[in-house]
Amino acid sequence: MANTNDDRLRAQLIEYADTTPEPPVISPRAGIVTSGCSRCQRTAWRQHDCEGPLWVCGTCGHVEPVTVECPHCAVPMTPPALGTPDLWECPTCPRVAATGDRPQDIEDRERKRLGAARVGPA
């Protein structure tokens, strides 16, 4: 916890720590990814089951699948396998994404990839 002598700030920090759920057990390669729960707006943690990644709310228990759509092809991207880096792949084009990427992030990454391919190795 932050070291502070400000009683008001200290109370805010304690309230935050007391109301924020502990992260679930995860593999060291998957990392910690959070989002706002679509139902109660508290912290949802990314988990992975046999069907792919899920958002699991630490407060209300709401569960929903994590989905990423290719902005170019308008199809769901293939989720990363359990224990692999957070890299979603489009099944029809070479675009890739990370969980939480906006369509613009995905297009920017693709533009950089194409630019690097045109320049070639140094």
Residue with tokens 């304690």, as numbered in its chain: 14
Whether pLDDT at 10 is above 70: yes
What percentage of the chain exceeds 70 in pLDDT? 84
Inter-CA distances, 80 with 19, 31, 77, 107, Å: 31, 13, 9, 19
Q: Which residues pair with 88 in a beta bridge?
A: 97
- pLDDT score for 23: 64
pLDDT tens digit sequence for 55-114? 888 888 899 998 999 999 999 999 988 777 889 999 999 999 998 899 999 999 999 999
Question: What sign for the dihedral angle of Cα 36, 42, 48, 49?
Answer: negative
Q: Note the pLDDT of residue 93.
A: 97
| Pick from 93, 98, 100, 87: nearest CA to 114 | 93
pLDDT at 92: 97
Mark 70-94 as b/e (b = at least 16 C-beta within 10 Å): bbeeeeebebbeeeeebebbbeeee
